[in-house]
Structure 1
Amino acid sequence: MTAREAHLVELVDAEGRALGTATVAESHQAPGRLHRAFSVFLRDEFGQVLLQQRAAVKTRFPLRWANSCCGHPLPGEPLPVAASRRLIEELGVEGVELTEVGVYAYYAEDPATGRVEYEYDHVLVGDLPAGVHPTPDPDEVADLRWVSVPMLLAEIESDSRSYAPWLLGVTQRLALEARPAQLDGR
């Protein structure tokens, strides 16, 4: 078990209210325990989002494409603090202001590893400053690529097995957030 698997996560009810704690490993063993998580999207100046291909050593959904970064806040840790910590750990990116755009609760079983994701997932977005280039940790990230949100939604629809099971839901939350700005002409 990795050190990260021993970290505590916050167990929650269906409305996101804290109920207690468990380790990362315990919360991801079948049948799973609903817990707080976050998914971060980084955007470039063209509105494209950064995807990461999860490293082969990940215990859940290795080598699948996912959002820029994800993780779990420690019990009581503010989401922006936890997400900023993971951006540094996974991508070597600091100083991005993050905004929450929604929540996506889901359950998914990983047939390859037998682990499960049962998460109350806060979706966060931030704009990557011009000139900042991610330097991914190879133990976390196998590859990176930029894609537009409409293209990503089309790709997931045509080949969902290449993507983490939460990616469609969190991308839909992001797409809903982007619509008002597009309507305002921003």
Structure 2
Amino acid sequence: MTDIAQPPATDRETLPVELVDETGQAVGACPVLEAHQQPGRLHRAFSVVLFDSEGRVLLQRRAAVKTRFPLLWANACCGHPAPGEPVVAAATVRLIEELGLTTGLTERGVYSYRADDERTGRVEHEWDHVLTGTLAHEVPRPDPAEVAEVRWVAPDELRAELRARPGDFTPWLTGVLDVALG
């Protein structure tokens, strides 16, 4: 796939996110942009990991217009539920928006992390719900405003790539995989 750097139709930076405490309890809300500015505010997020029938993991390379960690490889889909919105419902919608895919999703656990993006000056400080799903024959149809390219990789190969070239991947991918692969 080629990277066509188009801004998304919705300004996702203005959407609300749910702020949480260190136990994941809701404590307020703010816009996405505010949550991701230094020093970062802990907020609810989700990461979707998709597998195919061979057990391979679907990766996406984030679009160049992403405000955090652009052009790095990540899990299939990430996002933020609106305050009070069920995580699986929000992830289901985002999966359609980013990759044109639908599948049943199961929550596997939470990965909480903080990561600074030196290139953009933004920060991720997330209480990240890790969801998994399996695709039978569906083919990703990435939105070029969200996704530069996609690829399938076996988990063992992916772990080797993460060790050899960590700078090619988002800082949350290893932790998300640990939860997803249990």
TM-score by length of 1: 0.91
Corresponding residue to 2:52 among 29, 44, 61? 44
Name which structure has the greater RCO, CA cutoff 8 Å, separation 6+. Answer: 2
Separation of aligned partners in 1, 2:76 and 2:115? 19
The number of aligned residues is 174
Q: Aligned match of 1:124 in 119, 131, 154? A: 131
Q: 1:166 maps to which residue?
A: 172
Paired residue type of 1:142 = A
CA distance in 2, matches of 1:128, 1:20: 35
SS of the counterpart of 1:46? coil
- Specify which of 56, 67, 70 is matched with residue 75 of structure 2: 67
- Distance in 2, Cα, partners of 1:120 & 1:159: 25
Which segments of 5 or more consecutive residues in structure 2 lack a partner in the other structure? Answer: 1-6
> 1:70-149 maps to which residues of 2 (within 5 A)?
70-94=78-102, 96-130=103-137, 132-149=138-155
Q: State the Cα distance separating 1:149 from its structure 2 match.
A: 1.3
Equivalent position of 2:22 in the other structure: 14
**TM-score (normalizing by structure 2):** 0.93
Instruction: Report the aligned-residue RMSD.
Output: 1.1
Structure 1 runs (4+) greater than 3 angstroms displaced: none
What is the Cα deviation at residue 129 of structure 1? 2.7
Q: What letter matches 2:131 in structure 1?
A: L
Structure 1 unmatched runs, 5+: 177-186
Q: CA deviation at 1:154?
A: 1.4
